[in-house]
Structure 1
């Protein structure tokens, strides 16, 4: 923000300037406004002054929201028809930037719609996918309109707040919506430098390290000894996974970074590294409202290209058409996600590989993000919060799916359907009428023909309202197997107790191990791996234009 000193703030798109006393206006068919002022160092640092000077020059030709702190009647949407600035330096004394902006008024908030013109193109792919037309306007928008066919709505909560994603946008429709100029930048995509400064425009000198590209839902930057650190916002926290991008060897220590596109709706950064011979480029792209980072790796010579987790998350990754995701969530309740529009081979560490190629497109993110509602799902220390019926339970380090321990169930040999369930004191708090998901990993050295999970739904008085049974399935010998149960909680429910059951009357020698026993709200439609893959395939760059309402 500019230094106040009694001045207000003039905000033009991303750029904040000292608001000046006077603006010059003209009427007629094209109502224009000219504003000029000066930025100086001191009080700014020299780098801040130069950055602000360059940011201002990058505004020309853009349609932007403009807000005045002291003259809010002039707030609105404007086309920047001219941007000039004189940089003057008195060495070792003062550096000034005397600037001027010429603006053509598109309209005030109440008379102006914003129209998002989406390309409608689907990314070429090897899976006969048409992609999903989706769009995310600013957080503060209103009056979203797509004609007679209304899209479905998905809310994604990020560090900037709740952003609305519209799914199933009708073909050949350019959505229209309203937005206060002061709210336009909420939920935007940002590229910040190694000094933490957000950049306007593309013609800039950038450091190859220390930068960050983010939209409040997901961000990416140089990794710690790896190529990329991808952060995803889930619940109320950021979660980081380190990724290696490989062109015969892991790519780190980039020679340069440059911006190819830099708008609030979409930012593309290009990284370049020397190769012997030639060069390698990696383009990283992020859209407003997206939960995935998009990447395009390009080499001069054919080689093996891959993107993979720097720290493997088990050998149980699941590969489907166009994406790979972990079969098991991590300790935070998330599962990594990676994919491509082209056929690839799953990487042993989690990710994908293409051989004998000069390009690899990919996307990276997380699936899940729903917080675990029950305590002690991993049994690393004890089995507190769980009780046994027809069996004994104990913490065991004999086998573990995650970490070093699990819960061991030993049937008494005479009781039908021995089970272990959460105690009512440690039950998961749940709201009524909401879809929930119980999951767990089960293991038996000898196997068992009938095993399942179930959820008891309780009210505030701990009265049992309903029991939801998961599918009863065979548990193969010597293999961790994933089991689920899902249902919508009764409207009067306040608690849920997850249970692992062994229907029948198993002998005491048929022991069972349980790990990662979790209750969570079911991820909303649009957050599953297959949906995120379809949104990636849709590939719809956006241009925003003001139109009279």
Structure 2
């Protein structure tokens, strides 16, 4: 922020400047506004002064919100028609930037709509996918309009707050929306340089380390930990990190340069370059406002094996033929990695994409953010507290485990029609009527069994059973951990949900069942599943924003 001392602040796009005493205006033909001012070091540091000088010179040709602290009636959207700045240095004493910005007024908030002109582009892909047209305006927008066909709405909560994502945008439609100039930058994409400043424009001197690219939902930065990229997703009110390795013949652990190719509030692309002997590797990383995915494009001169994979191996549940891979089970934070490509690829053993004998690899990275686990003791590492049984007995066992060192062991009594291990009604988590929930778990039997499933008992406030939602009954193979799931909507009068594992068919006492990672959660919202995110990547939808008279 500008220095104190009684000055107000004028904010031009991303740049906060010392507000000047006078603004020169013209109303002939088109309304113009001219700003002149000076920034100085001291009181700014030399780096702050130079950064602000360069940021100003990057504004020309942009349509931006402009807000005044002391002259708020001049707030509005403006086209930057010209910028000039004189950098003067008295060595060892003071450094000044005398700047001038020429603006043409597009309009005030009440008379101006913003129109997002979406290209409708769909990535060429090998999976016959048409993609999903989606769009995310600033957090503070209102009056979103797409004509007679209204899109569906998805809310994503990030570090900047709740951002609205519109899904199913009609073809050949450019959405229009309103927004106050002061709210326009909320939820934007930011490139922050190693100096800790947010960069404006593209013609900038950048270092290859220390930077970050973020939109409040997902971020990417150089790793510096023996991998290549640190990709973080904002889930459950905090940032969750995954380390990824980028390989072009060999693992890349550092870059020689970073260059901004595109830098607008709705979309930023940074190009990284690594010198080889001879030749070079380039990696373009892109991020869009409202997206949960980092988009990447890896390029080399001569054919090589290119891959992007987790630095620490995790198993995947989807095949490369689907166009993506996602985690076979949640990590310790309840999330699953997501990676894929628009082109055919081979699944990497660590969890990732790889392609041999190629010069290019496109990819996307992120998380399928799991909702918080609602039931207690899903891992049974210490005991079986919070769980009960019918038709048998339960115990903590270290014979087999899918995660950690222990699992729940269910031993049927051999005479009851169905042996069950279930969350005790007193410990069953609260549910909301009409909300969707999912129960997931990993099951194992040394001998196998023909009929196994998981289910949810819906209980009222008195712990009385209302109804049961059954998951698919299927054969559990011998000696293999197998993933089971059940989804359901809490019915009328439901106050709790009790997750359970079932062995119907009067199982013999020799049919031992082990259960681990038994999690009951709110369902992943529509639009956030692995398939949804893949389809949003396929519909890349480059965007340009223009002001139009309301």
TM-score using structure 1 length: 0.98
Query: Which residue matches 2:51?
Result: 51
Q: Compared with structure 1, are the counterparts of its residues 476 and 431 closer, same or farther at alpha carbon in structure 2 (3 Å cutoff)?
A: same
1:305 and 2:318 are equivalent in the alignment:
no
CA distance in 1, matches of 2:100, 2:126: 51
Structure 1 residues not aligned, in runs of 5+? none
Q: Which residue of 2 aligns with 1:341?
A: 342
Q: Is the 8 A contact 2:222 2:230 kept in 1?
A: yes
Structure 1 segment 179-198 matched on structure 2, within 5 A: 179-198=179-198
Choose 475-484 or 390-399, whichever is displaced more.
Answer: 390-399
Write the distance in 1 (CA, Å) between the matches of 2:320 and 2:331: 17
SS at match of 1:43: coil
**Structure-to-structure mapping, 1:201-212, within 5 angstroms:** 201-212=201-212
Check whether the contact 1:319–1:325 (CA below 8 A) recurs between aligned residues: no
Q: Tell me by how many angstroms 1:394 deviates.
A: 1.5
Deviation of 1:426 (Å): 2.0
1:4 and 1:18 in contact (8 A); partners too: no
| Equivalent-residue separation in structure 2 for 1:191 and 1:373 (angstroms) | 36
Q: Is contact 1:393-1:408 (8 Å) kept?
A: yes
Query: Which sections of structure 2, spanning at least 5 residues, go unmatched?
Result: none
Show the counterpart of 1:66. Answer: 66
* Residue aligning to 1:426: 427
- The Cα offsets for residues 350-392 of structure 1, whole Å up to 9 and x where unpaired, read as 0111110000000001113311111211112221111122222
- Superposed CA deviations along residues 377-428 of structure 1, whole A, max 9, x for unmatched, are 1112221111122222111121111222211111122222111111123212
Distance change >3 Å, CA 317–CA 398, structure 1 → 2: farther
Query: C-alpha separation between the residues in 1 aligned to 2:142 and 2:98?
Result: 37
What corresponds to 2:284 in structure 1?
Answer: 283
Assess if the C-alpha contact under 8 Å between 1:435 and 1:522 holds in 2: yes
Separation of aligned partners in 2, 1:249 and 1:428:
48
SS of aligned partner of 2:250: coil
Give the distance between the partners of 1:447 and 1:197, measured in 2 at CA.
Answer: 59
Deviations 1:226-277 (A, max 9, x none): 1111101112111111111101111111000010000000000000000111
Q: Distance in 2 between matches of 1:369 and 1:500?
A: 21
Q: Partner of 2:500 in structure 1?
A: 499
Q: Deviations over 1:189-212 (max 9, x none)?
A: 000012321110011111101111
After superposition, give the CA deviation of every residue in 1:70-108 in whole Å (9 maximum; x if it has no partner).
111000000011111111111111111111111100000
SS at match of 1:535: helix
Distance in 2 between residues matched to 1:384 and 1:248, nearest whole Å = 50
Counterparts of 2:496 and 2:239, CA distance in 1: 27
**SS of the residue aligned with 1:210?**
coil
SS in 2 for 1:532: helix
Deviates more, 1:386-395 or 1:198-207: 386-395
2:320–2:345 CA contact under 8 A, matched in 1: no
> For residue 416 of structure 1, what is the aligned residue in structure 2?
417
- Deviations along 1:327-367, whole A, 9 cap, x unmatched? 21212121111111110011111011111000000000111
Partner of 2:383: 382
Deviation at 1:317, TM superposition (A): 5.2
Q: Distance in 1 between matches of 2:318 and 2:519?
A: 19
Q: Find the aligned partners of 2:493 and 2:211 in 1 and give their Cα distance.
A: 49
Helix, strand or coil at the partner of 1:73: helix
Contact 1:318-1:327 within 8 A present in 2 as well = no
Q: How does 1:393-472 map to 2 (within 5 A)?
A: 393-472=394-473
SS in 1 for 2:376: coil
Contact 1:303–1:357 (CA<8 Å) still a contact in 2? yes
Task: Give deviations 1:274-297, integer Å, cap 9, x for gaps.
Answer: 011100000000000111000000
Aligned equivalents of 1:430 and 1:89: distance in 2?
65
Which residue matches 2:172? Answer: 172
Q: Which moved more, 1:193-202 or 1:463-472?
A: 463-472
Report the counterpart of residue 98 of structure 1 in structure 2: 98
> Are 1:77 and 1:105, in contact at CA under 8 Å, matched by a contact in 2?
yes
SS of the equivalent of 1:394 reads strand
CA contact (8 A) 2:426 2:463 kept: no
* Residue equivalent to 2:483: 482
Q: In the aligned structure 1, how far is the partner of 2:239 from the partner of 2:430?
A: 23
Q: Give the Å deviation of 1:460.
A: 2.8
Which whole-Å CA distance do the structure 2 matches of 1:237 and 1:527 have between them? 17
Tell me the distance in 2 between the aligned counterparts of 1:44 and 1:225. Answer: 37
In the TM superposition, 1:12-31 aligns within 5 A as 12-31=12-31
8 A Cα contact 1:317 1:350, kept in partner? no
Cα pair 1:367 1:528 within 8 Å, conserved: yes
Q: What is the distance in 1 between the residues matched to 2:391 and 2:509?
A: 10
CA separation in 2, counterparts of 1:404 and 1:210?
Answer: 38
C-alpha separation in 2, matches of 1:303 and 1:403:
38
Corresponding residue SS for 1:377 = coil
Distance 2:165 2:492 in 1: 27
Are 1:140 and 2:135 an aligned pair?
no
Distance in 1 between residues matched to 2:512 and 2:442, nearest whole Å = 14
SS at structure 1 position matched to 2:504: coil
Q: Distance in 1 between matches of 2:80 and 2:492?
A: 54
Q: Residue 21 of structure 1: CA displacement? A: 1.6
C-alpha distance in 2, partners of 1:8/1:60?
23
RMSD: 1.2
Paired residue secondary structure (1:428): coil
Partner of 1:217: 217
Q: Which moved more, 1:156-165 or 1:355-364?
A: 156-165
Closer/same/farther in 2, CA of residues 486 and 91 from structure 1, 3 Å limit? same
| Cα separation, 2, equivalents of 1:314 and 1:149 | 41
8 Å contact kept, 1:318–1:326: no
1:468-547 to structure 2, matched below 5 A, reads: 468-547=469-548
Q: d(CA) in 2 for partners of 1:67 and 1:461?
A: 57
**1:314 alignment counterpart:** 315
Report deviation, 1:323: 0.9
Structure 2 match to 1:116: 116
